[in-house]
Structure 1
Amino acid sequence: MRAVRLAVGGCAAVGPLAQRRGGLMRQPRRPARQVAAQLGSSAPEGQQAAGSSAPPTSRPAEPEAPSIKQTMADLDALLGIEPEKEEQVPSSSGAAEGGAPKVSISADVLKTLAEAEVARAEQAGSSASAKEVQSKLADSIERIVEQAKKLAEEEGKGNTAGQEAVRRELENIIETVGQAANGVDAQDLKRMKEQVFGATTFWVTETRPLATQTLELGVVVKGNLRGKREAVFKEVCEKIAAMFGDKYVVRLVEDPEGALDESMRGSGDGSAPPEPRVQFEILPASSAQPAATKGWQRVAAGVLLLLTLGSTLQFGLAANIGLLPKETLQWLADPANLNTDLLPPGLETYDPLPFLSSTGNVFIVTLLPQLVHELAHVTVAGLRGIKIAPSYLIPNSQLGTFGSVTQLKSMVRDRTDLFDFSAAALVAGGLTSLALFVAGLAASHGGAAPEPGLLPVPAQLFQGSLLLGGIARLGLSSEALTHAQVFVSPLLVGGWCGLVTTALNCLPVGNLDGGRVMMSAFGRSSLAVSSLLSYVGLGLGLLGSSLALPFGLYVLICQRTAEQYIQDEVSGVSERRRLVAAAIIIFALLTLIPMAPDVVTDMGSVGSPGNFI
């Protein structure tokens, strides 16, 4: 209630009126009658209305409430405040009868909140923890309702014990809902901090909910490492497994805030960079693993396989179209003839067996490197205990296939396992393609005259790759490549396509095998930089020429997110693996960059398949 002080002896009222003016725009205005009713008869004797011009006069003692009411009414009229209807002020006896304010607890509202949290936990993939949360919330709600009934029966008796019980149950609900939000039980986390982490392993300074793009449930444990990183991580994993079984999964990642601090300070003395600051992530086992493969995903993998077979067959037909009679090709070049049912000229006496045989050879040798690539994935996954989903082959008319999307369905132990899984497939597919390419060069004479078993390809094909074009010039001679077309073996075509496809997947970007190799060997920050540079190269057509645009769109749509399911993301790989990673990246660049003297000439043909078909 606002205090009102009135001047005595005809002095002007100052502070209160200014306060009243300043508060007009900040809070609802109250008529004077309400103020007077609140003041009642407590006004001191001898006071009179502020601002009155008449001198004070002696009067018999009487209640001052009417004078105060009149004065406040005059102030209301002066300030433009409309009077409101008088409200009955409850008497003190009525307040005593009414007792303390009544607070009702709706069990239906609490149950609705509980069901919403359980549904959210189930949607995040934590069905086991969702049932546990539902049970805890149901028990707490039941106890709260019982305590509320007791408080209603004992109302006015000062039952502080019952109020304290309700407060504790509400705190339990808040704690349980917090568990549903991050998937980690508060009591379990407390036990971890007391019995797992400590002064000799990892001194905990802060815990916070985990929020990443892929891993939604979990808790981040930040602090200071007090021992050797590998030994501490092993000890933490073993203790948590002994205490909770397979309920939780522990991840070791770099502390992004610590890495930022180190980069801002710098080493300064040119010495080796210090060990990165780390943090632990405690994840519920249900959310730490990728979602299981669903039936529709298997169907999608089968459909993509059929489409890839079709695109590879179409590529084989296109690669052998030069074997058709010249008059047939001229007739097919006229769009008006494509809508007729007439047999193209030149095919009356044409033997299609060489054409079909060569098409089948190109079909097989084009798919062979990709088959070896997938077998390498499966083999290493079995050796390292990694679960993978069915491969989603990506069809492409210019190469037969862009490769495949191979998703992980389990947590990888460390970066070394991820490197072996990805690099093995790239090396196996690349070596198979290289063997086909070299064998094709040996079987090709490089002349312009047709020969059985060879198929004509444009000489411009060899200008699309700095590395492969250089090898082809050594194997076929520079004079052979001066002709408009060169007759080569189907093995060379299949090897060429396999090497280009492998080089595209070696690019250090996103979740491609090349991106996984880059992150495993050099870290996530290096992958971010290399991904940006790769996108720039693909966007400008500097990498892959006519394949840059479709492959770049494929990566952006399907493979842009880096791998997240790594348990130990801090421990690096051996120096030998880092050298292999560097060699893979160099191979990708040399294969996808066009030959320097022909870059300007070929820029006009970007968007057409001439550089690779």
Structure 2
Amino acid sequence: MTTQRAPASTEEPRQDRNLQLPSEVIQRLRNVIFGFDFFVTKVENYQANGVIFKGNLRGNPATAYDRIAARLKGELGEEYVLYLLEDQEEQPVAVILPKDAAEQPLPATQEALLSAAFGLATLVTLLNANGLLLLQPDQLDLSPGSVLSALPGTILFFLLLAAHEAGHRVAAKQEGVELGTPLFVPAGLGFLGSFGAITSFRSTVPDRATLLHVAAYGPAFGAAASLAMLLAGLALSAAGVGDGELQPAAFQDSLLVGVLGQLFVGSKLAQGATVSLNPLLAAGWAGLLANALNCIPVGVLDGGRIAHGLWGRRNAGRLNIIGLFLLGVTGIFDTLSLFWVLFVIFLQRGPISPQREELSQPESQQDRVLGLCLLGLSLLVLLPYPGAIIPETVF
């Protein structure tokens, strides 16, 4: 980032009279704590309980943040929290919030109750998607045979959801941030029994690199497990091992699955014959779909957080508008898109909570490439297979 020089003028910074923090705190922040690293030109309120300092940042943002934060802690203890952000004009700003206002996680008891309620609803839709038909009382069959037939697909898909969440947890532990209890979201659309889970941060995220790392590892683990399960299911289906049937037209719903289907069972698809539906195939496909939906760069989905980590708040906001528009348009013709855009608008709209230092770009090339691949995954899985399936048998 280009170093910005302080203006030559020694004019006192403009300051609102009714600021959220005490005047003596404002003066200590402006004169002692910001110092050389951030030349303050204007002070004004930030939302309902903080103060924003506008001015010129000197040097590397991460280094400047560490210095200012250390002075803040030395002068005012743990009472206030510093954020180094970017305003609407793409200029650096410093925000000071009282610690109590900066960290307001959901109470543990309330979070546990919500998680249990969402989990129970998700179990119902998972069992329903695997044939138990709990959502259709007139066709409900709770005989031991029906229950046992619904369990394999339910367990397999739940394992894929667990793999996704494990990815987030592993990355969060590596970065030293705390995650909340996941809220599994029921779906009940076809063979997709769940949209995945809503996972919140219980602690403040330090920077965009951390946000990218934690956000990307969830769908990376989930998609890898789903793809492995899908490939195993396709191989078994090609060998005729399956207790259901899949129509050839279904493979045209997804570009990636259509290509893989052509490789494994291309001759059957070309002839219009049904394909044996192995539970691994159905679960792997559903897992890929759930991960792909979560990788769309909108709201506070994993994709939205990945885009924010890669390109910053303003650029991620632009992608969010484009993504929601495209989802809304496709929702006119596709039920899944309609449900998904409503889900994002009502539950995952955002905004993404500020990181303490948002100006520095992630340095890990591995995480950057992984993030781009995951954004591309949503296109590969959600775009339809073009044209007809061409006969080509490999296995």
Relative to the length of structure 1, the TM-score reads 0.56
In structure 2, which of residues 185, 201, 212 is the aligned counterpart of residue 394 of structure 1?
185
How many Å apart are 1:463 and its aligned residue? 1.2
What are the superposed Cα offsets for residues 261-302 of structure 1, whole Å, 9 maximum, x if unpaired? xxxxxxxxxxxxxxxx31110111011113332533321210
User: Which has more strand, going by share of residues?
Assistant: 2
**Are 1:521 and 1:577, in contact at CA under 8 Å, matched by a contact in 2?**
no
**Are 1:388 and 1:409, in contact at CA under 8 Å, matched by a contact in 2?**
yes
1:567 aligns to what? 356
Which of the two has higher C-alpha Rg?
A: 1
**Are 2:216 and 2:367, in contact at CA under 8 Å, matched by a contact in 1?**
no
Question: Are residues 1:246 and 2:78 paired?
Answer: yes
Helix, strand or coil at the partner of 1:223: strand
Amino acid at match of 2:32: Q
Helix, strand or coil at the partner of 1:250: strand
Helix, strand or coil at the partner of 2:330: coil
**Are 2:268 and 2:274, in contact at CA under 8 Å, matched by a contact in 1?**
no
What are the superposed Cα offsets for residues 237-265 of structure 1, whole Å, 9 maximum, x if unpaired? 000001111101000011323x3xxxxxx
Call closer, same or farther: CA 1:242–1:429 in 2, change over 3 Å.
Answer: same
Amino acid at match of 2:59: G
Aligned pair count reads: 367
In structure 2, which of residues 204, 207, 217 is the aligned counterpart of residue 414 of structure 1?
207
2:54 aligns to what? 222
How many Å apart are 1:492 and its aligned residue? 0.6
In structure 2, which of residues 367, 375, 384 is the aligned counterpart of residue 585 of structure 1?
375
Aligned residues with identical type, % of pairs: 29
- Distance in 2, Cα, partners of 1:302 & 1:315: 20
How many Å apart are 1:488 and its aligned residue? 2.4
How many Å apart are 1:437 and its aligned residue? 0.3
Question: Are residues 1:191 and 2:28 paired?
Answer: yes
What are the superposed Cα offsets for residues 219-240 of structure 1, whole Å, 9 maximum, x if unpaired? 1111112333222211100000
Helix, strand or coil at the partner of 1:413: coil
- Distance in 2, Cα, partners of 1:299 & 1:551: 24
Aligned positions of 1:314-329 closer than 5 A: 314-317=128-131
1:520 aligns to what? 309
- Distance in 2, Cα, partners of 1:281 & 1:402: 35
1:29 aligns to what? none
**Are 1:543 and 1:589, in contact at CA under 8 Å, matched by a contact in 2?**
no
Compare 513-522 and 537-546 and name the one that shifted more.
Answer: 537-546
How many Å apart are 1:185 and its aligned residue? 2.2
What are the superposed Cα offsets for residues 366-424 of structure 1, whole Å, 9 maximum, x if unpaired? 11110111122223223322222211111011201001111112210111111111100
- Distance in 2, Cα, partners of 1:437 & 1:407: 29
Call closer, same or farther: CA 1:356–1:240 in 2, change over 3 Å.
Answer: same
**Are 1:516 and 1:562, in contact at CA under 8 Å, matched by a contact in 2?**
no
- Distance in 1, Cα, partners of 2:171 & 2:107: 20
Helix, strand or coil at the partner of 1:291: coil
How many Å apart are 1:545 and its aligned residue? 3.9
How many Å apart are 1:436 and its aligned residue? 0.3
**Are 2:223 and 2:287, in contact at CA under 8 Å, matched by a contact in 1?**
yes
- Distance in 1, Cα, partners of 2:147 & 2:105: 44
- Distance in 1, Cα, partners of 2:267 & 2:69: 61
Helix, strand or coil at the partner of 2:52: strand
2:110 aligns to what? 296
Ranked by relative contact order (alpha carbons within 8 Å, sequence separation 6 or more), the top structure is 2
- Distance in 2, Cα, partners of 1:375 & 1:467: 24
Aligned positions of 1:522-537 closer than 5 A: 522-537=311-326
Amino acid at match of 2:111: Q
Call closer, same or farther: CA 1:543–1:414 in 2, change over 3 Å.
Answer: farther
- Distance in 1, Cα, partners of 2:313 & 2:196: 23
**Are 2:50 and 2:96, in contact at CA under 8 Å, matched by a contact in 1?**
yes
- Distance in 2, Cα, partners of 1:306 & 1:580: 33
2:330 aligns to what? 541
